[in-house]
Structure 1
Amino acid sequence: MTVILLRNGNVYSPADPFATALVVEDGTVAWIGAEGAAEAHVSSADEVVDLDGALVTPAFVDSHVHATATGLALTGLDLRPSGADGGPLADGAEGAAGADGLDRIAEFAARLGDGDVLLGQGWDEPSFRGGIPDTAALDRAVGGRQAYLSRIDVHSALASSALRAAVPGLAGLDGYDPAGPLTGAAHHAVRAAAHAALTPARRTEAQRAARERAAALGIGTLVECAGPEIAGADDLALLLKLAAEEAGPEVVAYWGEAVDSADAARELAARHGAHGLGGDLFADGSIGSHTACLHAAYADRSGVVGLAHLGAERIAAHLAACTEAGVQAGFHAIGDAAVDAVVAGARAAAERYGAGAVRALRHRVEHAELIGADAVAAFAELGLVASVQPGFDAAWGGTEGMYVRRLGAERAARMNPFATLNRAGVPLAFGSDSPVTPLDPWGTVRAAAFHRTAGERISVRAAFNAHTRGGHRALGRDDEGVLVPGAPATYAVWRTGELTVQAPDSRLSAWSTDPSSGTPGLPDLTPGEPLPVCVRTVVRGVVVYTAD
């Protein structure tokens, strides 16, 4: 048995809000308590770690990621204008900051070998000084090679003529545009063709980079949202193999493919090693690409209400099949019409198999950005998990953000309603949808606590719980994501400033550091304050990251 004692720090634990030390035995938390009592454990410890005042918390769960695309963004061509989060681009990434996006594309293409496919991501309208380039301009920049450049929301993309020519029947697919960005089925087809050109070695390199980055940020679990329209079965198999063979954050996978029978649900989940059949099973698209499915038209595109990738009948059939099979289901649903279609399907499953059976499986809705009051109530009633991304609000919310341009002020103010969902008792799980927004767990907590719509702010504590324990509960792992005796020793160690208790309203300027409050403190995440820095990440007792 290996015994490790961590002492002289601050341990974030409901078991003891004043804890300064903990003991880990063979990958399990064995004891938590005060420094004075830690002396009794020194003689039996194989290793004693002096925390020197550092904070120990449960490791984060990123509840929605795309590992290969994240790794490609970390190591390749990133066209975000100065970083979508307003901060620096990822280490090693080629970004559009300070240069026109087309120039960056041309420079990157010139360094590729003959026959290499150019893959890039993250562009938005500000990435290109002369406006979004048409296919002819893109062809000139890439020198005639195949190129796939996804928009920041990954629901539309620029594709060169050479790549378009490699997809038979592309012009007949929904979302096809001969000169501009591709959406819908046309986008899915060119994305599949571009990713098919990646060698297994290149995929593994990208996946390894994503896991290493996550570990360095204190993320202990990555929830991979895979599917046939994303990176394919081979990509997921490589990722699960890598996670099984190399130390790093755990990977839990969802497979986004619809079924219509319980037998098919069980077989498909087993075939792909999937925790459930959901994640990016697309009920609709995205706000930025005008493809999220809405009840009323976009404010900046008359008559357009987005795309319903799955009809209400297919959604209901999938939920019924998964409920009968005992397999967790889920959908990508952003617009209010898409969310309502998922709710209707869940209600139909509850009428057939009982509300208890639906609640027990914790079916997920990814994003749930624009959601009406009736749908919020249904989420709470049926135990639907809202797997949401606070970074979306940080990137596109506010009075001058993309949501206002696409939806108008009234609907924009209702986007990403974290406080509304939290008050209703809807289970929340936080993630990034990386590479749509970057892996950034403390930034995610800050974004929820300082939502651009003040009424939708939640406390730092509630946001932190949604990004740790909430992520595990969404996976059905109720005993994880919290540091108490008997729990898995999956934690992160942080260098940070003063610990505080923050409220989600006008009291945000009033901090409590009174130890008699009995509430564990968390870092001060006020905008402008430095975020905590991870110095160690441990997954089930295995150290997966230590700072240099």
Structure 2
Amino acid sequence: MAPADLVLRDGSIYTVDAVRSWAHALAVREGRIVYVGTESGVVPYIGAETEVLELKGRTVLPSFQDVHIHPVTSGTVAAGFCDLSGVSTREEYLALIAEYAAERPDVEWIRGEGWSMDVFPAGVPDKQSLDGIVPDRPVYLGSSDGHSAWVNSKALDIAGITSDTPDPADGRIDRDPVTGEPVGGLQEGAMNLVQPPQYTADELDAGLRYALKMLHGYGVTAFQEASADREVLETYRRLDEAGDLSAHVVAALWWERERGEEQIPELIAKREEFSAGNRRATTVKIMQDGVMENHTAALLEPYQGKPGGTGISFVEPGALKRIVTRLDAAGFQVHFHAIGDAAIRQALDAVEAARTQNGERANRHHISHLQLFDPVDIGRFRELGVVANFQPLWAYADGYITDLTIPFLGPERSRWLYPIGSLVRSGAIVAFGSDWSVSSANPFEAMEVAITRMGPDGESDAPFLPGERIDLPTALAAFTIKAAYVNGIDDATGSIEVGKLADLIVLDRNPFEVPPAEISEIEVLLTLFAGAPVHGDLLH
């Protein structure tokens, strides 16, 4: 037998195979796993040139995969623009913005993102505070969830937005209730009324490199890019052709909701153009509604205190059925954004229509976010083969839940917020993503919340809907083999089995041996992508 290139031994290797078995050693040759088993069984694979890593009891897992994330744009902001995600109060935001602007007097636009809606009254930011620190240049700052923008008066003036400007069909200009004047918040489609300069190719490339380094540090080597326009696709292609795309990437092509089915041939052409190397443009992203906090999530019943207000369905449900049926027939996976119970039902109805017309095509459609359910729809995920794509870090009682969601839903509906456990018990396939930079890309933080339903940094003192907690093996599977299933690469990665790629991580402690409230503290010591280190090294 030919010797291996790399052997890992004296470890606790959790394989995430079909029976969730454990092993003590593994061998890798030419980037693939050739042996998984015992200490004695790996000895024949050790040759004169084999590199042997003594694990000293450390834990090995398949590397993680993220099924909803924005590495290019989020990395670009974090690498070189006004990133507000590291602070959490209005005063801290303003201090950081003022510092950023003062250090860059020649920059025409102050751009960035990362502010949280729960910091502002009713979730609406104000232009006056920005005017006080940057009066002479336009400021455009996206919210952490990507559904709102905070702008100053200069940006509104450049865009020509006044009290007479109508709200777009898919968004809202926040206004003074007396005068109708814009106050500085733009919701959903209204964000597009202000057009700051596009990021350059160099800025985007630097952003993706930043994101890859960060993700590898968290043990992530595969992900689904949740919003891929041409500039994002070109960024992945540049890094891939340079040999620097050290991840498996599935790009979700953006469905332009202001257009119709005439864009499908363009999407097919993009799939052909941008599927090569470590990337596949085989998914289409449809944003069906907004978010709960600004009342644009689509609900079956009105928000409390908002008579007739049921949010926005961005794609008319009948049209959605036709679109998804055609995309399914063309071999695309559809990745839905659905927050509200109406949007979730509309997405499920569209998949059901596609199955009725096309039969079962195994395109592995998935619905992300899944904040509010009507419980009658929970069983439909298994019945229709739709994957439940949760961002579990959101499933605890933070300000978004306690201040901006529950008061507008009431207790009966709020019982069905992020019902991860119910979906698991129903037999649905459940996979996890981060939606970074909306929230942390660290899978261990997300898994801790899924298991405890409490904040990973002590933000809560009681579990939120404790009946929806899941166990550790289920959480690990959601970030490994189940995520690989969504990404269409479960035959090649997602578990530690002979023949699969050596996409592996080594941890500083065993998650099965630490209290659930300490899972978020686990660190990744080594990340391998096809057997090659992309984080840490083999000597330390």
TM-score category of the 2 structures, normalised to the smaller one: 0.7 to 0.9
1:133 shift after superposition: 4.2
1:278 paired residue number: 284
Bigger mean CA deviation after superposition, 152-161 or 381-390: 152-161
**Structure 1 pair 271/164, CA: closer, same or farther in 2 (3 Å)?**
farther
Cα distance in structure 2, aligned partners of 1:372 and 1:363? 20
TM-score when scaled to structure 2? 0.85
Say if 2:132 is the partner of 1:119: no
User: Which consecutive residues of structure 2, in runs of 5 or more, have no partner in the other structure?
Assistant: 175-181, 454-463
1:234 to 224, 231, 235: 231
Does residue 473 (structure 1) correspond to residue 478 (structure 2)? The answer is no
- Contact 2:14 2:61 (C-alpha < 8 Å) held by counterparts: yes
Distance 1:406 1:544, change over 3 A: farther
> Residue in 1 aligned with 2:436?
434
Q: Which moved more, 1:296-305 or 1:332-341?
A: 296-305
Contact 1:100/1:129, CA 8 A, preserved across alignment: no
The range that moved more, 237-246 or 201-210, is 237-246
Deviations 1:326-361 (A, max 9, x none): 11122211101111111221222122122x23xx11
Partner of 2:142: 150
Counterpart-to-counterpart distance in 1, 2:369 and 2:217: 25
Once the 2 structures are TM-superposed, how far is the Cα of residue 257 of structure 1 from its aligned partner?
Answer: 0.9
70-79 or 339-348, larger mean C-alpha shift: 70-79
Classify the secondary structure of the residue corresponding to 1:394.
coil
Q: 1:220 to 1:131 in 2, by over 3 A?
A: closer
1:415-463 deviations in whole A, cap 9, x for unaligned? 1111111122221120010111111101111111112211111111011
Post-superposition Cα deviations, 1:21-68, rounded to whole Å, max 9, x if no partner, equal 110011111001122333333236521111122111000001111113
Aligned to 2:471: 459
Q: Distance in 1 between matches of 2:20 and 2:385?
A: 30
| Cα 1:545–1:116 shift into 2, 3 Å | farther
| Paired position in structure 1 for 2:151 | 159
Q: Assess if the C-alpha contact under 8 Å between 2:123 and 2:293 holds in 1.
A: no
Query: Structure 2: how far apart are the matches of 1:43 and 1:363?
Result: 45
2:239 alignment partner AA: L
Q: Is the 8 A contact 1:226 1:236 kept in 2?
A: no
The residue that corresponds to 2:178 in the other structure is none
- Does the 8 A contact of 1:397 with 1:404 survive in 2? no
1:339 correspondence with 2:344: yes
Who is 2:425 aligned against?
423
1:154-233 aligned within 5 A = 154-167=146-159, 171-174=165-168, 175-177=172-174, 178-190=182-194, 193-194=195-196, 196-227=197-228, 232-233=229-230
Query: Equivalent residue of 1:109, what SS?
Result: helix
149-158 or 462-471: which moved more?
149-158
- The amino acid of 1:456's aligned partner reads E
Counterpart CA distance in 1 for 2:347 and 2:20 is 41
The answer for the alignment partner of 1:538 in structure 2 is: 528
CA contact (8 A) 1:101 1:128 kept: no
Change (3 A) 1:532 1:381: same
Aligned residues: 501
Secondary structure in 2 aligned to 1:104?
helix
Partner Cα distance (1:496, 1:252) in 2: 30
| Secondary structure of 2:250 counterpart | strand
Pick the aligned partner of 2:249 from 248, 251, 270: 251
2:393 is the alignment partner of 1:391 = yes
Cα 1:375–1:472 shift into 2, 3 Å: same
Question: Which amino acid is the alignment partner of residue 25 of structure 2?
Answer: A
1:74 to 78, 84, 94: 78
Q: 2:220 and 2:314 mapped to 1: Cα distance?
A: 32
Q: TM-score, with normalisation over the residues of structure 1?
A: 0.84
Quote the residue 2:314 is aligned against.
Answer: 309
Match of 1:61 among 42, 65, 89: 65
Cα separation, 2, equivalents of 1:365 and 1:185 = 21
In the TM superposition, 1:323-362 aligns within 5 A as 323-354=328-359, 356-357=360-361, 360-362=362-364
State the AA in 2 paired with 1:143.
P
RMSD value, Cα: 2.7
Residue of structure 1 in register with 2:496 after alignment: 483
Deviation at 1:184, TM superposition (A): 2.5
Unpaired runs of 5+ residues, structure 1, are 81-88, 90-94, 501-522
State the alpha-carbon separation in 2 of the partners of residues 454 and 125 from structure 1.
26
Residue type of the alignment partner of 2:303: Y
Whole-Å separation in 1 of the counterparts to 2:121 and 2:266: 49
Contact preservation (8 Å) 2:123, 2:404: no
Q: Offset at 1:9?
A: 1.2
Q: Which residue of 1 aligns with 2:460?
A: none
- How far did 1:216 drift? 0.5
C-alpha spacing 1:424/1:136, structure 2 compared with 1 (3 Å): same
- Residue type of the partner of 2:328? T
2:55 is equivalent to residue 51 of structure 1: yes
Distance across 1 between alignment mates of 2:401 and 2:161: 42
Q: Residues 74-97 of structure 1, C-alpha deviation per residue, up to 9 Å, x if partnerless?
A: 3443434xxxxxxxx4xxxxx346
Quick check: 251-260 or 12-21, which moved more? 12-21
1:413–1:439 Cα change, 3 Å = same
Letter of the 1:253 counterpart: A
Q: Is the 8 A contact 1:153 1:288 kept in 2?
A: no
User: CA-to-partner distance for each residue in 1:188-218, whole Å, 9 max, x for gaps?
Assistant: 443xx23x43222122212211111000110
Distance 1:239-1:457 versus aligned 2 partners, 3 A rule: same
Distance 1:278 1:366, change over 3 A: farther
2:509 aligned to which of 485, 496, 501 = 496
Taking a change above 3 Å as real, the CA distance of residues 402 and 272 of structure 1, as seen in their structure-2 partners, is farther
SS at match of 1:236: helix
Cα displacement string for residues 143-176 of structure 1 (whole angstroms, at most 9, x for unaligned residues)? 3222221222211111233333444789344212
1:344 alignment partner AA? D
Rounded Cα–Cα distance in structure 1 between residues aligned with 2:369 and 2:416: 13
TM superposition shift of 1:264: 5.0
C-alpha change, 1:265 and 1:56, in structure 2 (3 Å) is: same
Distance 2:402 2:351 in 1: 35
- Cα distance between partner residues in 2 of 1:160 and 1:150: 12
* CA displacement at 1:186 relative to structure 2: 1.2
- Write the letter of the residue equivalent to 2:530: R
Shift of 1:529: 5.5
Partner of 1:409: 411
User: Equivalents in 2 of 1:433, 1:131: separation in Å?
Assistant: 20
- Sort the Cα spacing of 1:98 and 1:398 in 2 relative to 1 into closer, same or farther, 3 A: closer
Q: 1:158 to 1:533 in 2, by over 3 A?
A: same
Counterpart of 1:533 in structure 2: which amino acid?
A: E
* 8 Å contact kept, 2:138–2:155: yes
Paired AA for residue 482 in structure 1: S
